[in-house]
Amino acid sequence: MSFGGDDLYYYMEWVVHAGGSTVVNHGLEYFFAPANGHLQTVGKVIYRLLFGIFGADYDAFRVVDVLGILAVAAVFYLLAARRLGPLLPLAPTILILFLGYAWELSLWAFDMHTVYSLAFGLGALLALEREDRRGDVAASVLLVLSVFTIELGLAFVVGAIVLVGQRSRWRSRAWIVLVPIVLYAIWWVWARQFGFSTFDLHNLRLLPPDIADALGSVFGSILGLNPTGPEIAPEATATTSAGMVAAGFAVAGLALRLGRGAVPPTLWAFLAVALAYWTMIALGGRLPDSSRYVMPGTVMVLLVAADALAGRRFPPLAVAGAFVLLAVVLPPNIAKFYDGRHKQLIGAQAGRTEFAMMELAGSRISPSYSPPLDEEVVKLGGSFGPALIPREYFSAARRYGSLAYSLEQVREDPIGFRQMADAALADAIRLRPRLAAAPAGAGGCEDYDPPAPGTLGYLPLPKTGLLLRARGGQPVEIRVSRFAKDGGGFEVGQLRPGRWAILRPGADPAPDPWRLLMGGPLRVCPAGPA
């Protein structure tokens, strides 16, 4: 896997201004400028540190992301064990570790923002349970870190307000939540200059169905009821009626529990976090069943359940039943991991192949070339990320290391990626037939015909190029290939009858020869040095 999508904004150290213009910025503004409308200062600091220590080694970023998942599971277990004892919470903790329906948080390092915001927020609620000065200070610091990682932290601020507000000393402890609120408000006012818009109040109408969908996706994930497989978009949990029914029974059970009274204060806090989070998703116009939103909702639903069941004694058979259920729900979660893994691998393979061709083109690359702007590369399934122009990409590569495959890895790519490589390289160096004068003599010239009607014949294309002229009265399609020797080539133009053109690929460090594939009869002559 490799950097792709939003990861590349951090690799390039871009600040996005109003109107979508990007500027490379290595200063303080970079850390506080909104990323896609979000406050992500902590994530930018983590990325900068990892880039500085490990360069562009994506393994380091994946490790840090997984450490965040472990932290979330650990804090969840501590909170749940206080309510249910040490053994029963192990089952949902293991589920959190292998929650495949939330695969983006585990397989895409960039979603460490959500992971660490969740870990900090849970840590803040755990610290508040200490009911002492140290716990209060720790909670406020953790809330600030959560908010400055991504806005999920604001949901935990709401939960902390609910929790602190139920205590008798709430006035003297209000500073715990006021600190993150004030800091976020200051940032929000300053960041308006970047022209972002995270929430739209018109989306309030989406709140009821979005909360229902969020609950359905969470319960479908917890119980392994959501579908998997290539026919389902990997980024979605594809909420099913079974998940919705399970959510309905859970809501009804919670209502009965609330009706009995004697509700632990933390249950209201956990419930407030979940509702605030889903409200922000709705206001942001996001899809509530997206895999990146499943884990926070799942964790909070499980904590609400733990509080609702707190104080009960569970017989060994009930505990054993929880682990039997875990064994049933893990396989579909693991299957969803594979769905996400497939998508991530395709994106990484495409991106690293494209960067390899940019680097192979070197100084000959068109200054404005970028694979996401290359229609042929897009058609072939490439360009997973923002448009990096050569000057900015090469600068980042010198600073942190290359994102490209080696040529050996490109040669081992499946045919589709090698065709993408040929298209990207040909467009990067603008390999096209250009009008040229007729050769001075016929020495070395030969006539070529395709091997059969409707087929493409090919011949070696030297670095110095060839002079070409269509024979007969019809235009002749010209295609080239290099790494995709077993493919149909990439069209670079057509030759009109009676006109000479030169096709010159030029030299680069790769020994792999270009091939010219012709769609009709040609007159071919050697071209002299450029």
DSSP codes, 58-109:
HHHHHHHHHHHHHHHHHHHHHHHHHHH-SSTTHHHHHHHHT-GGGHHHHH-G
pLDDT of residue 195: 81
The 3-state secondary structure of 299-360 reads HHHHHHHHHHCCCCCCCHHHHHHHHHHHHHHHHHHHHHHHHHHHHHHHHHHHHHHHHHHHHH
How many CB atoms are closer than 10 A to CB 415?
13
Let me know: does 246 contact 219? Beta carbons within 8 Å: yes
Question: In terms of Cα–Cα distance, which of 118, 324, 114, 295 is closest to 222?
Answer: 295
Q: Which amino acid is at 428?
A: A
How many CB atoms are closer than 10 A to CB 227?
17
Let me know: does 469 contact 521? Beta carbons within 8 Å: no
**Given the DSSP bridges, would you call strands 466-470 and 500-503 parallel, antiparallel or unpaired?**
antiparallel
pLDDT of residue 454: 62
pLDDT of residue 453: 67
Q: Which amino acid is at 47?
A: Y
- Radius of gyration over alpha carbons of the chain, in Å? 29
Nearest-10 Cα torsion for 422, 424, 429, 430: 90
CA 389/CA 384 separation, integer angstroms? 14
- 6 Cβ contact list (under 8 Å, min separation 6): 35, 36, 110
Q: Is 73 exposed, middle or buried (0-12, 13-18, 19+ CB in 10 A)?
A: buried
24 forms bridges with which residues in the sheet?
Answer: 14
Q: What is the mean pLDDT of each run of 10 residues along the chain (530 residues)?
A: 88 86 88 91 96 95 97 98 95 97 94 97 96 94 98 97 89 94 95 81 86 94 91 82 93 93 92 95 88 95 95 92 96 94 90 95 93 90 84 94 94 93 94 91 84 74 93 89 88 90 93 90 86
How many CB atoms are closer than 10 A to CB 85?
14
Q: Which amino acid is at 164?
A: V
Domains annotated for the chain, with CATH where assigned, are 7-343 (no CATH), 344-428 (no CATH), 434-526 (2.60.120)
What three-state secondary structure class fits 497? Answer: strand
Q: Which two tokens stand for residue 328?
A: 């049933």
Q: Is 260 exposed, middle or buried (0-12, 13-18, 19+ CB in 10 A)?
A: exposed
pLDDT of residue 197: 72
CA 104/CA 293 separation, integer angstroms? 9
Let me know: does 147 contact 157? Beta carbons within 8 Å: yes
